DNA sequence: CCTTATAGTTGCACAAGTCAACTTTCTGAG
DNA sequence: CTCAGAAAGTTGACTTGTGCAACTATAAGG
């Protein structure tokens, strides 16, 4: 297969995947949205993370991050250490409810994905994950360049 | 690595990819949206395709398809053979402008992806595409079951 | 202290989707 | 043949995630 065709093919597969992403999200997270899960996950795994870090890490607009965070505050999943909205550089942390919800969600994700991939051997899954990672890195690099 | 960890890892990679999908789309299609590209592509490659086929093929709501199509009509990229809006089962086709725009866009996509994947060998790209395809199929199968 | 750069918030707009209600248009049973 | 009901499309109201720009509050350095 010529390189152009290989690339064309990848593009089509990628498109399908992306088009289905909303559906995947819904299946995966009956409770949390993908973006909420991502936020909670980052907060859990990154001590002293603050809003602006999320902006950088996720490449989102600060307004998006602000609103998303406020929603998580309102739902009682996240804590603004110090509790003062608008306070610059205030470290974020999970509430115990947040920890619970995130754990439950992660569980759900794991079992859902496990079900999807029932007939994949672990090697193929790992290879797939590596490919995506490499792809993400390639794109990042190309965009920065 | 335990299977759970492999799966967890895949999930994270998948999440990153999905989160970036909007960005990817924008890079890829300065002109057409991903969804518009998909529509035009399907219409081009499927003789006598009609709106309801798009609904089935893409798993979208008919209202979404209807609006999307009408936008493409308005932009003069698509033809409703017979020109009667609302007519059931009316076959869709590209206008010459549509054909032109699609070709240009496909070109742009190809060169953009080629640039991203500059240091991948074709084999890896093909493998990646196969993995996504398999993944999509696995999900479909699991959802149907 | 006061100025200024920056973090966070808010208003406005938009794209893509859903759902449900409605309108057309076909079609098949009588 | 006709007309009732199924299917295809359209439309309206709403949701979610996003960006941009203008604004406000805050921290920090001279």
Question: Would you say residue B1 has pLDDT above 80?
Answer: no
**DSSP state for residue B89 in the 8-state scheme:** T
pLDDT in tens, A44-96: 999 889 999 999 999 999 999 999 999 999 999 999 876 555 577 788 999 99
Question: Which pLDDT value is given to residue B85?
Answer: 56
Q: What is the mean pLDDT of residues B119-134?
A: 96
Q: What is the mean pLDDT of residues B48-57?
A: 93
3-state DSSP call for residue B80? strand
Q: How far apart are CA A124 and CA B4, in angstroms?
A: 14
pLDDT in tens, A7-55: 999 999 999 999 989 889 988 888 899 999 999 999 999 988 999 999 9
Q: What is the mean pLDDT of residues A117-136?
A: 96
Q: Which has more confidence, A81 or B56?
A: B56
CB atoms under 10 Å from CB of B135, counted, come to 25
- Tell which strand C nucleotides have any atom below 7 Å from a protein Cβ: 6-12, 15-21, 23-27
- Tell which strand D nucleotides have any atom below 7 Å from a protein Cβ: 7-13, 16-22, 24-28
Nearest 5°: phi and psi at B93? -155, 160
C-beta atoms of B131 and A124 within 8 A: yes
Question: Would you say residue B86 has pLDDT above 60?
Answer: no
Q: How far apart are CA A122 and CA A128, in angstroms?
A: 10
- Chain A within 8 Å of B103 (Cβ-Cβ)? no
Which ranges constitute the DSSP H helices of B59-116?
Answer: 62-74, 96-116
Helix (H) or strand (E) run with residue B6 in it: helix B3-19
Q: Which has more confidence, A114 or B89?
A: A114
Helix (H) or strand (E) run with residue A80 in it: strand A78-80
Please answer whether residues B29 and B105 qualify as being in contact, where contact means their C-beta atoms are separated by less than 8 angstroms.
Answer: yes
pLDDT in tens, B4-23: 999 999 999 999 999 888 88
Between residues 6 and 65 of chain A, which touch chain B (CB distance below 8 Å)?
A: 6-21, 23-25, 27, 34-35, 37-38, 58-59
Question: Which pLDDT value is given to residue B87?
Answer: 67
Question: Would you say residue B142 has pLDDT above 90?
Answer: no
């Amino acid at each position: 297969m010529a390189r152009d065709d290989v690339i064309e093919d990848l593009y089509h597969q990628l498109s399908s995947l992306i088009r289905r992403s909303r559906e995947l999200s819904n299946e995966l997270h009956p409770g949390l949205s993908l973006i909420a899960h991502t936020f909670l996950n980052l907060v859990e795994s990154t001590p002293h993370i603050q809003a602006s870090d999320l902006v950088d890490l996720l490449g989102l607009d600060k307004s998006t991050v602000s609103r998303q965070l406020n929603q998580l505050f309102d739902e009682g999943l996240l804590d603004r250490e110090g509790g003062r909205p608008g306070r610059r550089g205030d470290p974020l942390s999970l509430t115990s409810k947040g920890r619970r919800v995130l754990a439950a969600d992660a569980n759900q994700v794991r079992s859902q994905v496990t079900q999807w991939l029932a007939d994949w051997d672990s090697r193929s899954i790992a290879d797939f994950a590596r490919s995506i990672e490499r792809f993400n890195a390639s794109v990042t690099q190309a965009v920065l360049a």
